[in-house]
Amino acid sequence: DAGVIQSPRHEVTEMGQEVTLRCKPISGHDYLFWYRQTMMRGLELLIYFNNNVPIDDSGMPEDRFSAKMPNASFSTLKIQPSEPRDSAVYFCASTPGFGEQYFGPGTRLTVT
Amino acid sequence: GENVEQHPSTLSVQEGDSAVIKCTYSDSASNYFPWYKQELGKGPQLIIDIRSNVGEKKDQRIAVTLNKTAKHFSLHITETQPEDSAVYFCAKRSGNQFYFGTGTSLTVIP
């Protein structure tokens, strides 16, 4: 398996623009997690899905953030409108049930 | 609570020496404790994990110990090499969620 795939790897955008981050989990994994990593706050869980259904989105910072998982092999994290404080590395991770969690390579987002 | 405390935040060792990173937690429900290595520009990679019914697990130069009574677990790296230099994160799983320590930046000096 190719592991968790994320795109784009880098994104630079201007404040106010919409940003969409994409994730393809490992085939057969029924849990998908979105994390944000910054120097100040470390790894923060934003939202996670089980069998494509959002289970806990309490970590989503505000209404500007939204996430979807239309099918078992694809998820998106959208920020609209983006702000400079959203600059961070965003990771997607997947897990098979109560098994090990595997991370993607991340998307480095810079909002100017 | 769900916090995981990790120490030290930075660690420098001479090549060939051992490195130890410690984590503590406070809840009783956690039953799975993974360790991740994150190299610059990459995502965290699972390097070893331990479940609550085991006290120690070893994989070549890496070992993890768990004291469930005291609620702490540790990562031990022996015979360190320059390529071990990275940020290491401990984590615990409580229910379906993972909670991470704040990371230890390990530098192995050649």
pLDDT tens, A38-93?
Answer: 988 889 999 999 999 999 998 998 899 999 999 999 999 999 999 999 999 999 99
What tokens were used for B101? 């320590």
What span, in angstroms and rounded, lies between the C-alpha atoms of A87 and B36?
Answer: 23
Rg (CA), chain A: 13
A73's CB contacts (< 8 A; 6+ apart) are: A24, A25, A27
What span, in angstroms and rounded, lies between the C-alpha atoms of B3 and A59?
Answer: 15
What span, in angstroms and rounded, lies between the C-alpha atoms of B98 and B43?
Answer: 15
What span, in angstroms and rounded, lies between the C-alpha atoms of A38 and A87?
Answer: 8
What type of residue sits at position B57?
K
The SS3 of residue A85 is helix
Q: Does B53 touch chain A (CB under 8 A)?
A: no
* Long-range contacts formed by A51-56: CB under 8 A, 24+ apart: A55/B96, A56/B97
Q: Does A31 touch chain B (CB under 8 A)?
A: yes
Nearest to A105 among B43, B93, B96 (CB): B43
The answer to whether the Cα torsion of B7, B11, B13, B15 is positive or negative is positive
What span, in angstroms and rounded, lies between the C-alpha atoms of B41 and B16?
Answer: 26
Contacts of B40 in chain A (CB under 8 A): none
pLDDT of residue A40: 86
What span, in angstroms and rounded, lies between the C-alpha atoms of B88 and B35?
Answer: 7
pLDDT means over runs of 10, chain B (110 residues)? 89 98 91 94 94 89 94 96 97 88 96
Contacts of B37 in chain A (CB under 8 A): none
What type of residue sits at position B61?
R
Distance from CA of B79 to the nearest CA of A (A): 26
pLDDT of residue A1: 66
Q: Which residue has the tokens 């404040």?
A: A15
User: What is the DSSP secondary structure assignment for residue A25, as one 8-state letter?
Assistant: P
Q: Are A46 and A59 in contact (CB under 8 A)?
A: yes
CB–CB contact B102 A50 (8 Å) = no
**Closest residue of B to A36, CA-based?**
B43
Please give the mean pLDDT across all residues of chain A. 94
pLDDT of residue B95: 82
CB–CB contact A105 B98 (8 Å) = no
CB–CB contact A103 B34 (8 Å) = no
- A2 compared with A107, residue with greater pLDDT: A107
Model pLDDT for residues B67-94, shown as the tens digit of each residue: 989 999 999 999 999 999 999 999 999 8
A2's CB contacts (< 8 A; 6+ apart) are: none
